[in-house]
């Protein structure tokens, strides 16, 4: 992980300004729903619609999950978010507002997601593409397995079940 999310109050003011700017650019309206959803989304790294909806509902239970879907779609269009499909489950939205391209290590035991980038891998990807006269526009590299914490747990099988 290269970038760390800045402190909550900075995120809050920055994300509000960012959101307002993007909305104006596109002739869209600033609603309190969009404001809250974007603020909570931009405060974290990776989240599902369901989980973000739950967070949103804590602050304003009148907001519908469908508005969460729609707001995340907007954030994707503006490249503040990116859809990810790890495993076969629900879509995970990656907060890429302060991040460059990166790939992921995904723990199949506790669902932790670790970000990384490796330029050597990317160079060999280009080599593979050249060999096949292929032109890469984007790529996904996902490494699944056990994170540091879950590897430790593995030697104590009794603790396995306390993980998601």
Q: Where do contacts with DNA occur on this chain (CB under 7 A)?
A: 23, 27-34, 48-50, 62-64, 66-67, 69-71, 73, 89-91
100 alpha carbon, distance to own chain's centre: 12
Return d(Cα 1, Cα 73) in angstroms, integer. 24
Q: How far is the CB of 55 from DNA (least distance, A)?
A: 14
- Cβ atoms of 102 and 116 within 8 Å: the answer is yes
What are the φ and ψ backbone dihedral angles of 36, each rounded to 5 degrees? Answer: -65, -45
Which among 16-24, 41-49, 69-77, 127-135 is the span making contact with its own copies, rule CB under 8 A? Answer: 127-135
Does the protein bind Zn ion through residue 109 (CB under 5 A)? yes
Based on CB atoms, which residue is closest to DNA, 53 or 150?
53
- C-alpha span between 83 and 74 (Å, rounded): 12
CB 44 to Zn ion: min, Å: 18
Q: Which region among 31-39, 48-56, 60-68, 126-134 touches its own copies (by CB under 8 A)?
A: 126-134
# chain residues binding Mn ion, by CB under 5 A = 2
Near its own copies by CB under 8 A: residue from 2, 54, 59, 85: 85
Task: Report 96-125 residues binding Mn ion (CB under 5 A).
Answer: 115
Phi-psi region of 90 (alpha: psi -120 to 50; beta: other; left: phi over 0): beta
**Using the rule CB under 8 A, is 136 a contact of its own copies?**
yes
Question: Residue 32, SS3?
Answer: helix
Strands 81-84 and 113-116: unpaired
Cβ closest to Mn ion, residue 39 vs residue 94 = 94
Strand, helix or coil at 31?
coil
Point out which residues bind Zn ion (CB under 5 A): 107, 109-110, 112, 147, 150
């Amino acid at each position: 992980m290269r970038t760390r999310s800045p402190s909550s109050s900075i995120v809050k003011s920055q994300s509000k300004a960012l959101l307002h700017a993007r909305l104006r650019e596109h002739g869209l309206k600033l609603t309190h729903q969009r404001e809250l959803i974007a603020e909570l989304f931009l405060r974290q790294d990776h989240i599902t619609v369901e989980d973000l909806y739950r967070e949103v509902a804590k602050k304003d239970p009148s907001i519908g999950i469908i508005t969460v879907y729609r707001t995340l779609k907007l954030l994707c269009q503006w490249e503040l978010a990116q859809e990810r499909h790890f495993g076969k489950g629900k879509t995970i939205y990656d907060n890429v507002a302060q991040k460059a391209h990166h790939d992921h290590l995904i723990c199949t035991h506790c669902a932790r997601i670790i970000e990384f980038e490796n330029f050597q891998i990317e160079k060999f990807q280009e080599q593979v593409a050249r060999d096949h006269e292929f032109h890469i526009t984007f790529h996904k590299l996902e490494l699944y397995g056990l994170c540091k914490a879950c590897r430790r747990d593995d030697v104590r099988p009794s603790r396995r079940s306390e993980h998601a």
